[in-house]
Amino acid sequence: MKVLLWFRRDLRIHDHVLLHKAQQINAQYLGFAQAHLKSSFENTGEPRWGERKKQFYLETISDLKSSFESKGLPFWFSDLPLSKAIETVEEQFIPDEIWCQNAAGWEEREEVLMLAKKYKLREMESQSLYSLEDLPFKLESLPFIFTDFRKKVEKHSEVRQCYSTEIQFSGAQNIQTPELPELSFLPIHPHSAFPFAGGERAALERMKDWIWEGNHLSTYKKTRNESIGTEYSSKLSAYLAWGCLSPRTLYWEIKKYEREVLSNESTYWLYFELLWRDFFHFTCRKEGSSFFKSKNIEKQIDQSKWMAWKEAKTNNSFINAHMKELAETGFMSNRGRQNVASFLLHSLKIDWRLGAQYFESELIDFEPANNYGNWTYLAGLGHDPRPNRIFNPEIQKQRYDAEGKYVELWT
């Protein structure tokens, strides 16, 4: 059987269900990924792929392609729109079936529905830590509040073991794949909290370095609200978002560390954050398009306020510093994201969806469920038992940047 293995947010070889199943049945498979890098948002015309996000993604694709090619197998990447991209593949490889990850996100769902009209399509689970079938409730009955979700899952569900996968030679051969788009190689900012490259190799290295070499997992709960440097948090979000790192691989690494080194509230807390990730993932799948819709939108927005937020020119230096970090590096701490989002919503009274779209374009770790889930949560439209979650930037600055080091760094 000929199978097109469509890599989505699972851009890796390890713990890869599609590769595992394809090799199990000895399918003749071709690895394929697609992203329409020139696409823009319909409502604003702004690009969806900021330069840093694009660079991280292409580094990731390049790493995956070289893993395939090191085994003598082709990997096809296309930046054409999806159906056009697959038509081009078909000039050399006509699949009997297309297999892909069941990815959260409404547009991702629409892509699958569109392809299913023409191809035999099979989706498999690999984006979340827990598999859908192992949750102690059906998707329709997913708890509305995170704490209820967490308590039930912790008590009743188990994380599966990883697939042991490496590429074997049952893949398709003698195929001329297109060249990758050129990488722009943006210089890394000297103060970047994320000076790492994209790709599976870099992801596994970062995980090992942060957990084992630096022992940072042991103090994570104390440091996770900081904003300066590479070590205060894991910096694994971009790798998890694009699937360079499997959440299960990370989970089993935490367990190993707990067995061999120590188990404390910090080691638990990294797992706790992975549960947030799963909560948004399943909520997004359950709610479909309504996850991305909002009530209470201000119809008119004040353009000057909106531009000031984006361009780090508001009247608040703490907010500006964070927005500058985002623009210069493609990354911002969780604390920073909460503050700038709250400021946009509550101080500037601007439609949260514009902020979320800007994050979508700029963040190297953009992922639909996590991004839109966190934004609606802060906007009081999502799954928050406390509807008015307002962060006072002055108090936040006192608490998290009392000496002004962060503001100084990014001013």
Ligand X SMILES: Cc1cc2nc3c(=O)[nH]c(=O)nc-3n(C[C@H](O)[C@H](O)[C@H](O)COP(=O)(O)OP(=O)(O)OC[C@H]3O[C@@H](n4cnc5c(N)ncnc54)[C@H](O)[C@@H]3O)c2cc1C
The identity of residue 237, as a single letter, is S
Please report how close the Cβ of residue 237 comes to ligand X at its closest, in angstroms.
3
Report if residue 240 touches ligand X, rule: CB under 6 A. Answer: yes
Q: What is the CA radius of gyration of the chain?
A: 21
Please report how close the Cβ of residue 242 comes to ligand X at its closest, in angstroms.
10
Within positions 127 to 146, which residues make up the interface with ligand X, using CB under 6 A?
Answer: none
Per-residue contact flags (x/-) with ligand X for residues 63 to 102, judged by CB under 6 A: ----------------------------------------
Per-residue contact flags (x/-) with ligand X for residues 179 to 218, judged by CB under 6 A: ----------------------------------------
Whole-number Å distance between alpha carbons of 279 and 122: 24
DSSP string, 48-69: SS-HHHHHHHHHHHHHHHHHHH
Query: Binding ligand X by CB under 6 A: which of 28, 83, 225, 334?
Result: 334
Kindly indicate which of the ranges 53-61, 83-91, 164-172, 374-382 contains the residues binding ligand X, using the contact rule CB under 6 A.
374-382
Sign of CA dihedral 395, 401, 404, 410: negative
Secondary structure (3-state) at 158: coil
- 249's CB contacts (< 8 A; 6+ apart) are 14, 15, 162, 204, 207
- 299's CB contacts (< 8 A; 6+ apart) are none
Report if residue 249 touches ligand X, rule: CB under 6 A. Answer: no
Kindly indicate which of the ranges 80-88, 89-97, 274-282, 311-319 contains the residues binding ligand X, using the contact rule CB under 6 A.
274-282
Report if residue 400 touches ligand X, rule: CB under 6 A. Answer: no
Do the Cβ atoms of 277 and 240 come closer than 8 Å?
yes
Query: Binding ligand X by CB under 6 A: which of 34, 338, 357, 376?
Result: 338
Report if residue 341 touches ligand X, rule: CB under 6 A. Answer: yes
Upper half-sphere CA count for residue 173 (Cβ side, 13 Å) = 6
Kindly indicate which of the ranges 72-80, 107-115, 251-259, 334-342 contains the residues binding ligand X, using the contact rule CB under 6 A.
334-342
Query: Binding ligand X by CB under 6 A: which of 241, 244, 254, 326?
Result: 241
Do the Cβ atoms of 101 and 18 come closer than 8 Å?
yes
Query: Binding ligand X by CB under 6 A: which of 374, 376, 396, 410?
Result: 374
Q: Length of the chain in residues, anyone? A: 411
Nearer to ligand X, 14 or 277 (CB): 277
Nearer to ligand X, 21 or 337 (CB): 337
Q: Count CB-CB contacts under 10 A for residue 312.
A: 20
- 255's CB contacts (< 8 A; 6+ apart) are none
Within positions 29 to 68, which residues make up the interface with ligand X, using CB under 6 A?
Answer: none
CA 229 centroid distance within chain: 21
Report if residue 277 touches ligand X, rule: CB under 6 A. Answer: yes
Nearer to ligand X, 224 or 397 (CB): 224
Nearer to ligand X, 134 or 384 (CB): 384
Q: Give the DSSP H/E element, type plus range, for residue 31.
A: strand 28-34
Nearer to ligand X, 76 or 318 (CB): 318
Nearer to ligand X, 64 or 378 (CB): 378
- 197's CB contacts (< 8 A; 6+ apart) are 56, 59
- 7's CB contacts (< 8 A; 6+ apart) are 18, 31, 32, 33, 64, 100, 101, 243
Closest CA to 125 of 10, 287, 240: 10
Total residues contacting ligand X by CB under 6 A comes to 29
Per-residue contact flags (x/-) with ligand X for residues 344 to 373, judged by CB under 6 A: ---------------x---x-xxx--xx--
Report if residue 246 touches ligand X, rule: CB under 6 A. Answer: no
Do the Cβ atoms of 391 and 339 come closer than 8 Å?
yes
Do the Cβ atoms of 75 and 176 come closer than 8 Å?
no
Report if residue 337 touches ligand X, rule: CB under 6 A. Answer: yes
Residues that bind ligand X (CB under 6 A): 224, 233-237, 240-241, 270, 273-274, 276-277, 280, 333-334, 337-338, 341, 359, 363, 365-367, 370-371, 374-375, 378
